[in-house]
Structure 1
Amino acid sequence: MIEKLIWEFDQGKSPSTLIAEGFPKSTVYLAYKRWLRMRTSGLPALKVFLSHSVADLSIVTKMHDLLSAGGITVYIAELQPQPGVLISEKIEKMIRESDYFIALLTRDGQRSPFVNYEIGVAKGFNKPIIPLVEEGVQPPLYLQQREVLWFKRDDPEKTVEWLIEYLNYIRKEKAKAALMSALATLGLVAIIGIGLLGLFSLASSKKE
């Protein structure tokens, strides 16, 4: 069944669609993680910091598993212990090194002083902020001008699917940009080489 599901993903179907068609949820996401590992292995690295309330650790774990399977480095303070290091310094370093900041805003997360502190740090570092907001929760005023991703508490995976697709699109665009830059550099080198060859040939002909 795993191979069939992987084939279905290659045809463009999402895990949510396959679950709706009657495939077991656990098997679908097992196949999805395997498919992600196979199809994203060559993409540029991307790091995200996932800000959350401790009360939402079960949701965070699901998100971490799926994002990591897609080759995305996920910084979660609790999952990367650094004994002896000041927590504030550790968090600030993780956010500074991240490409994107994901704010998990649930009923608990919205009120969490840690989440609000981390959002402030992300804004200070000018990091792109992606709010993941639980249905029924009002985003704070300072995030209401941003587009948000809504998720259901009992089915966060569906929203994470879209998030992975979005982040992998960014990674593909980075790969294209790097390739174009490399090709442009090679083209410039080739032009310089041809120019030098022309000058050398001209100088040789004058000597003759």
Structure 2
Amino acid sequence: MLRAVRKAENRLIGFVEELGGYPVFVSHDSGDEELARQIEEKAASVGVDVWLFEEDNHLGKPIRQKVQNAIDESNAFVVLFAENSSMSSYVRQEIGYAEGTDTPVLPMVHDSVDGGDLAMLRGREQIRFGSDQVTQAASELKQRIRHRRRKSARNTVRTVEVLGGLSLLASSATTRKRTRKRKQQPATKPEPTRPFPSKGRSASFRHPR
């Protein structure tokens, strides 16, 4: 049984991997646009699809709606902290929305930034990188997302296992209850039947005088 469960788990994980692409929303200050584009380029080379506000081509669509839709469709929300980072109000709003939708928030911190000065980084998993380590940072980003997706797939399988077990228990309990109810019901006596006349003889009826 355990082997079958693990086989199903691996099959689901494989299906998740075959979905292809690792869509990621990168939130950054306008002063770090050049670095954000470098990350986008290197990330694309390892299979990570980066969404940048500067490259969104949905003209006429409200900015808030574009940003929220992009976050909803992403596997992770990356906050880029670099030398020019100032944590603009837009970045803060995007972080708040991502946290409200349970999208994993992953900071990417350039070595020029002192992480201790950023309160939101405390206690958070983060990727640190230097100017010559953008490719490595993009690869690490993919591995982090891949790990989260595989973990999510395992949790899905285990949830199905639990629900399946509960359903089986409920069905078994219902069957036992019906069996006990049938056993407790008194046996019913069959209704007496009127005898039929013997074959070959007709019944005689007498009228009262």
Give, in angstroms, the shift of residue 75 of structure 1.
Answer: 3.0
Compare the two structures and name the one with the higher helix fraction. 1
Q: How many angstroms apart in 1 are the aligned matches of 2:91 and 2:70? A: 13
Contact 2:51–2:70 (Cα < 8 Å) also in 1: yes
Match 1:82 to one of 54, 58, 81: 58
SS in 1 for 2:26: strand
Give, in angstroms, the shift of residue 138 of structure 1.
Answer: 3.6
Give, in angstroms, the shift of residue 130 of structure 1.
Answer: 1.9
Change (3 A) 1:59 1:167: closer
Change (3 A) 1:144 1:201: closer
Alpha-carbon deviations, 1:3-54, whole Å to 9, x = none? xxxxxxxxxxxxxxxxxxxxxxxxxxxxxxxxxx9992269x9753112333
Alignment: residue pair count: 163
| TM-score when normalising by structure 2 | 0.62
Q: Any runs of at least 4 consecutive aligned residues in structure 1 with deviations exceeding 6 A, and if so which? A: none
1:196 is matched with which residue?
174
2:127 is matched with which residue?
149
Contact 1:46–1:171 (Cα < 8 Å) also in 2: no
Give, in angstroms, the shift of residue 193 of structure 1.
Answer: 1.0
Larger C-alpha radius of gyration, 1 or 2? 2
Give, in angstroms, the shift of residue 126 of structure 1.
Answer: 5.6
SS in 2 for 1:40: helix
Structure 2 counterparts to residues 68-107 of structure 1, below 5 A:
68=48, 74-95=50-71, 98=74, 100-107=76-83
Cα RMSD of the aligned pairs, angstroms, is 3.3
**Structure 2: any 5+ residue segments left out of the alignment?**
1-13, 188-209
Q: How many angstroms apart in 1 are the aligned matches of 2:168 and 2:131? A: 56
Change (3 A) 1:89 1:205: closer
Change (3 A) 1:66 1:172: same
Q: Percent identity?
A: 19
SS in 1 for 2:95: helix
